[in-house]
Chain A
């Protein structure tokens, strides 16, 4: 801008969009978001709180609903733990090591994003279902079933959210300066110490962001779980499947109450993840400049 002469700046000013057009496009954008996004969210909140917080709490703490919410949260938490470790490891290998099939592995990471979740559920049942070889063998020898049981839920969630941590960590790992690690190595630090003291600290925020996003995504999952979990109340019925059942049987109070809890958790996690993401991005920018 500084290099432009006063004359060209005047031309630019004259040519820049008229105020009414400016406001028009902004109105279109905001009303699109309000109609598509904000009104539906407000409607569900209003419906859940129609009978007051006490009634909402009563509906949520009904044994079946409560169990469904607890199951959703703990399976998502186990998924998040495994996903954090394996996702970080996968990102590390993809960035630091060279091996045959690396670009294929990199492409496979995004596969879960492209495959419909219902199809994911079907695939897992085919591979591990009780009527299949692996599933039957596990059941007979260990009395352990994956499909139509909580482990199947964790497996489906792991499948769906695998890209989250990897893709969150990968770009940050790529930008890390190797000189620090070399310095640590010359000073006698071992591989594990280098990883823990030099590599891990800048990765903490991206790992946490990816993990939170995968957790938030997992809470609402329906398509794969409805196929995989067997949906037995008080055993393998998750919150999303519970809401589906209550909607089908026209129990509006129960469906709205559990929906409000799910939306609130998702919203809180999303906002926190966004906050972390902004922090890591701006912190990184500052270092670069």
Chain B
């Protein structure tokens, strides 16, 4: 191999030391480097890409025609429609309130702030089943608000309002977590400059603050939307044995699997997976492109 003697100079410069050490590391570590890369690529390939490939192959097993005919089934279409509008409502609510929460969190100082900081991410680690169950304990038949539910006639449990609330709980952290760092890095002196130039606080928010938050908002919306599309456990519990018109896509997949309608389940799963994948990677791509 490369057997260079030590550089014979009286006082080696810093540059020569770095070059020498780089060669030292480089020569020794060539095969280590290759094998490490190999291990990771195989791991990622087997763990993450192989299952995706298997799903794609299985869905197309009986040809694209079988996929289309199983997806044309009215239950599938209704379930996709339900998932879509529930997710949109959730995104709308979180965009509005998430911005307010992130704003208050970054700009205001108040007691209990650090506790709230920890609590915001709780939905992220709380089991979706427990989430649905919590809502049942509040709105269910023997729940805390059951009198209110009976008096007003608004059904929450086993109905769409409950499914929206469950999805709201599960997706709570995404918007806030995306916006907080953006707001922290945003220079408040821009707002002050706008104020000295005579803008009122609404104008300042609309013209100065909001444009600065743009990418945080877009990414927060994407993540919230993708998570809402895929929510299953919480919706399953609060929706009860939701059938027919009440189903979301994940519930449809679950029931189709139970009834052994594999092609329908696989096709819906593939479609849902590809859709949320396209959503997330699309917004990533746009962000990289714009920021470069």
Contact = CB atoms under 8 A, between A and B. Distances in A.
B92 interface: no
Interface string A162-190: 10000000000000000101110110001
Interface string A131-168: 01000000000000000000000010011001000000
B254 A105 contact: no
B169 A115 contact: no
Interface stretch (B70-78, B207-215, B275-283): B275-283
A33 B116 contact: yes
A81 interface: no
A275 B279 CA distance: 33
A116 B103 contact: no
Contacts of A155: 47
Interface residues of A, number: 93
Interface string B94-108: 000100110111001
DSSP class of A's interface residues: helix, strand, loop or mixed?
helix
Interface stretch (A8-16, A55-63, A202-210, A229-237): A8-16
B55 A126 contact: yes
B51 A43 contact: no
7 contacts: A15-B195, A115-B276, A122-B265, A158-B47, A162-B48, A181-B21, A239-B127
Question: How big is the B interface, by class?
Answer: 35 or more
Contact of B273 (A90, A119, A194): A119
Nearest to A185: B21
Contact of B257 (A227, A263, A274): A227
A29 B104 contact: yes
B17 A270 contact: no
B53 to A, nearest CB: 8
Contacts of B127: 219-222, 239-240, 243, 259, 262, 266
B186 interface: no
Interface of B: 17-18, 20-22, 24-25, 28-29, 32-33, 36-37, 39-41, 43-44, 47-52, 54-55, 58, 97, 100-101, 103-105, 108, 110, 116-138, 144, 168-169, 172, 192, 195-196, 200-201, 223, 226, 229-233, 236-237, 250, 253-254, 257, 265-266, 269-270, 272-273, 276-277, 279-281, 284
A244 B128 CA distance: 10
Given A11-B195, A25-B104, A105-B41, A122 B48 contact: no
A73 interface: no
B17 A114 contact: no
A21 B201 CA distance: 11
A37 B125 contact: no
A86 B46 CA distance: 13
B121 A185 contact: no
Given A116-B272, A117-B230, A36 B281 contact: no
Contact of A107 (B134, B226, B284): B284
A105 B119 contact: no
A64 interface: no
